[in-house]
Structure 1
Amino acid sequence: MNAPIKIILFLFISLGLASCASGPAVMKLNPDEAELLFARGEYQKADALFLDMAQQMRPYKRTPLLLRAAAAEASMKNLAAAKQTLQGLQINYAKTDQRLLLRLAQAHIALTKRQIDQVLKLLDAPPPVGSNHFYLADYYDLRADAFTLSGNRIETARELIKRERYLDDAALIHANQEDIWQALAMLTEQALMQLRTDPPPNVLSGWMDLVRIAKTYQLRPAMLRQAVQQWQHTYPHHPADRQIIESLLNRQQQDVSLPKQIALLLPFSSKFAKAAEAIRDGFLGAYYARRIKNRQSIHIYDVTNNDVTAIYQRAIAEGAGFVVGPLDKTAIARIATHHPLPVPTLALNYSLNDNIPANLYQFGLSPEEEARQVAERTWFDGYVNAVTLVPAGPWGSRVVQAFSQRWREIGGKIVNQETYNPANKDFSRPIQRLLNIDQSKRRYRSLSSLLNRKLKYTPRRRQDIDFVFIAAYPRQARQIRPQLKFYRASSVPVYGTSHVFTGNLNPARDRDMDGLIFGDMPWVLTDSRHPRSLRSKIEPQISRAGHSLQRLYALGIDAYDIIPALNTLKKYPYERFDGETGSLSLDLKQQIHRQLTWVKFVNGRPVRIDQGI
Structure 2
Amino acid sequence: MMRILLTALLALVIAACAPSGPGTRPGVEVDLGENIERLLDTGEFRAAAEALEQRAEAQPQQRDMFLVRAAEAWLAAQAFERAEATVARINPAALAREDRIRLDLVQAELAMRRGDLANAGWLLASTAERLPASLSERHAELEALLLELESSPVRDALDALQQAVEEPDFEGETALALLLEFPLAELEGVLYEVSDQARLMPWLDLVITAREHLLDDEALGAALDSWESRWRAVDYPAAEARRWIAAWRQTRPLPSRVTVLLPDSGSPLHRPGEALREGLLAGWLQLTPDRRPQLEFRYIGEAPEDAVSAWFDARENGTEFLIGPLGQAQADALSRQPDAGLIPTLLLNLPDDPQLLSESGGEIMALALPPESEAELAAIHALATGHKRALVLSQYSSWGERVSRAFIDTFSLGGGRVVEERIYDPELPDHSILLKEVLEVDDSEARIARMSSLLGDSVESVAQRRTDIDVIFLGARADDGRLLRPQLEFFDAGDLTLMATSYIVDGAPRPERDRDLDGVTTPMPPWFLDFTPAGVVRERAGTLYDGLDNATLSRLHALGRDAIALLPWLAMMRDDPTLELPGMVGRLSLPDGHIVRRDLPVIELRGGYARPARIDERETTNR
Regarding TM over 0.5, the answer is: yes
| Aligned-partner Cα distance in 1 for 2:600–2:238 | 22
User: Cα offset for 1:422?
Assistant: 1.0
Distance 1:207 1:333 in 2: 50
Match of 2:269 among 272, 284, 289: 272
Q: Does 1:524 align with 2:528?
A: yes
Structure 2 equivalent of residue 591 of structure 1: 595
Q: What residue in structure 2 maps to residue 323 of structure 1?
A: 322
The CA deviation at 1:268 is 4.5
How many aligned residue pairs are there? 439
Structure 2-normalised TM-score? 0.61
The amino acid of 1:333's aligned partner reads D
Alpha-carbon offset, residue 192 of structure 1: 4.2
Mapped contact 1:546–1:552 kept (Cα < 8 A): no
User: Structure 2 counterpart of 1:516, which letter?
Assistant: V
Cα contact 2:508–2:529 (8 A) shared by 1: no
Alignment partner of 1:202 is 2:235: no
Match of 2:250, as an amino acid? R
Residue 350 of structure 2 corresponds to residue 350 of structure 1 = yes
Aligned to 2:303: 305
Alpha-carbon shift at residue 348 of structure 1 (Å): 0.7
Deviation at 1:401, TM superposition (A): 0.7
Q: Distance in 1 between matches of 2:612 and 2:215?
A: 14
Decide whether the 8 Å contact of 1:497 with 1:518 is kept in 2. Answer: yes
CA shift in 2, pair 1:302/1:199, >3 Å: closer
Match of 1:420 among 402, 424, 427: 424
Q: Partner amino acid for 2:588? A: L
Q: Please name the residue that 1:459 is paired with.
A: 463
C-alpha spacing 1:406/1:461, structure 2 compared with 1 (3 Å): same
CA distance, structure 1, for counterparts of residue 241 and residue 301 of structure 2: 41
Q: 1:217 to 1:338 in 2, by over 3 A?
A: farther
Q: CA deviation at 1:455?
A: 2.3
The alpha carbon displacement at 1:370 in A equals 0.7
Aligned counterparts, 1:394-543, within 5 A: 394-529=398-533, 534-535=537-538, 538-543=541-546
- Offset of residue 257 of structure 1: 3.2
Aligned residue for 1:580, secondary structure, equals: coil
Shift of 1:408: 1.1
- The one-letter amino acid paired with 2:599 is Q
> Which residue in 2 is equivalent to 1:262?
259
- Cα offset, 1:336, TM superposition: 1.9
CA shift, 1:536, in A, is 6.2
Mapped to 2, the partners of 1:212 and 1:481 lie a distance apart of 47
CA contact (8 A) 1:584 1:592 kept: yes
5+ residue gaps, structure 2: 1-59, 95-187, 617-623
Partner Cα distance (1:207, 1:565) in 2: 27
Distance 1:208 1:350 in 2: 41
Task: Return the alpha-carbon distance in structure 2 between the equivalents of residues 525 and 506 of structure 1.
Answer: 10
Q: Which structure is higher in RCO with an 8 Å CA cutoff and minimum separation 6?
A: 1
Q: Measure the CA separation in 1 of the matches of 2:516 and 2:478.
A: 10
Structure 1: which amino acid aligns with 2:295? S
Cα drift, residue 262 of structure 1: 2.2
| Cα displacement (A) at 1:326 | 1.2
* CA deviation vs aligned residue, 1:54-78 (integer Å, no higher than 9, x gap): xx9xxxxxxxxxxxxxxxxxxxxxx
Superposition pairs of residues 45-194 of structure 1, within 5 angstroms: 185=213, 188-193=216-221
Residue of structure 1 equivalent to 2:290 = 293
The 1:261–1:202 alpha-carbon spacing in structure 2 relative to 1, beyond 3 Å, is: same
Q: Give the corresponding residue for 1:248.
A: none
Do the aligned residues in 2 keep the contact of 1:344 with 1:360 (CA within 8 Å)? yes
* CA 455–546 in structure 1, closer or farther in 2 if over 3 Å, else same: closer
Deviation at 1:487, TM superposition (A): 1.3
> In 2, Cα distance between the equivalents of 1:397 and 1:348?
22
CA apart distance, 1:217: 5.5
Partner AA of 1:575 in structure 2: L
**Structure 1 residues 458, 610: CA separation in 2 closer, same or farther (over 3 Å shift)?**
closer
User: 2:378 aligned with 1:374, yes or no?
Assistant: yes
Distance 1:460 1:192 in 2: 51
CA spacing shift, 1:505–1:384, aligned 2, 3 Å: closer
Q: Secondary structure at the match of 1:293?
A: helix
Q: 1:305 Cα deviation (Å)? A: 2.3
Alpha carbons of 1:414 and 1:26: their partners in 2 closer, same or farther (altered >3 Å)?
closer
* 8 A Cα contact 2:225 2:238, kept in partner: no
- Equivalents in 1 of 2:384, 2:244: separation in Å? 29
Task: Give 1:503 deviation, angstroms.
Answer: 2.4
Conserved 8 A contact 1:277-1:545: no
Counterpart of 1:559 in structure 2 is: 563
Distance 1:464 1:321, change over 3 A: same
Deviations 1:66-124 (A, max 9, x none): xxxxxxxxxxxxxxxxxxxxxxxxxxxxxxxxxxxxxxxxxxxxxxxxxxxxxxxxxxx
Give the 3-state SS of the residue equivalent to 2:592 in structure 1. coil
Letter in 2 for 1:461: R
SS at match of 2:325: coil
Deviation, 1:25, is 6.8
| Structure 1 residue ranges without an equivalent (≥5) | 1-22, 57-160, 222-252
Would the alpha carbon gap of residues 217 and 394 (structure 1) be closer, same or farther in structure 2, given more than 3 Å must change? Answer: farther
Residue 589 of structure 1: how far off its partner (Å) = 4.6
The equivalent of 1:220 in structure 2 is: 250
Give the 3 Å change call, closer, same or farther, for CA 421–500 of structure 1 in structure 2. same
State the distance in 1 between where 2:250 and 2:420 align.
Answer: 52
Instruction: Determine if contact 1:346/1:361 at 8 Å carries over to the other structure.
Output: yes
Whether the aligned pair in 1 keeps the contact of 2:264 and 2:300 (CA below 8 Å) is yes
Asked whether the 8 Å contact 1:281–1:546 carries over to 2, the reply is: no
Change in Cα spacing, 1:354 to 1:298, as seen in structure 2 (3 Å) is same
What's the CA shift for 1:427?
2.2
Distance 1:311 1:183, change over 3 A: closer
Helix, strand or coil: the match of 1:390? strand
Q: CA deviation at 1:44?
A: 5.2
Kindly state the Cα deviation for residue 492 of structure 1 after the two structures are TM-superposed.
Answer: 0.9
TM-score normalized by the length of structure 1: 0.62
- Residue 124 (structure 1) aligns with: none
What is the identity, as a one-letter code, of the residue corresponding to 2:303? N
Aligned-partner SS, 1:461: coil
What are the superposed Cα offsets for residues 328-355 of structure 1, whole Å, 9 maximum, x if unpaired?
Answer: 2221121222221231111111113223
Alpha-carbon deviation of 1:266? 3.0
Paired with 1:212 and 1:453, the residues of 2 have a C-alpha distance of 78
- SS at 1:402 equivalent: helix
**Aligned partners of 1:267 and 1:273 also within 8 Å:** yes
Does the 8 Å CA contact 1:181/1:207 hold for their aligned counterparts? no
**Structure 1 contact 321–344 (Cα < 8 Å) conserved:** yes
Measure, in 2, the Cα distance between the counterparts of 1:400 and 1:546.
27
Greater alpha carbon shift after TM alignment, 350-359 vs 603-612:
603-612
**Alignment partners' CA distance in 1, 2:62 and 2:322:** 66
SS at match of 2:473: strand
Which residue in 2 is equivalent to 1:117?
none
2:489 and 2:523 mapped to 1: Cα distance?
22
Q: Would you say the 8 A contact 1:182–1:574 is kept in 2?
A: no
Contact 1:282 1:554 in 2 (8 A): yes
User: Shift in Å at residue 41 of structure 1?
Assistant: 6.4
| Greater mean deviation of Cα atoms: 333-342 or 197-206 | 197-206
Structure 1 residues 197, 437: closer, same or farther in 2, change over 3 A?
farther
Q: Is the 8 A contact 2:259 2:319 kept in 1?
A: yes
2:569 partner SS: helix
The equivalent of 1:544 in structure 2 is 547
1:415-471 per-position Cα deviation (integer Å, ceiling 9, x unaligned): 111211111222222322332212222333344445554322311111121211112
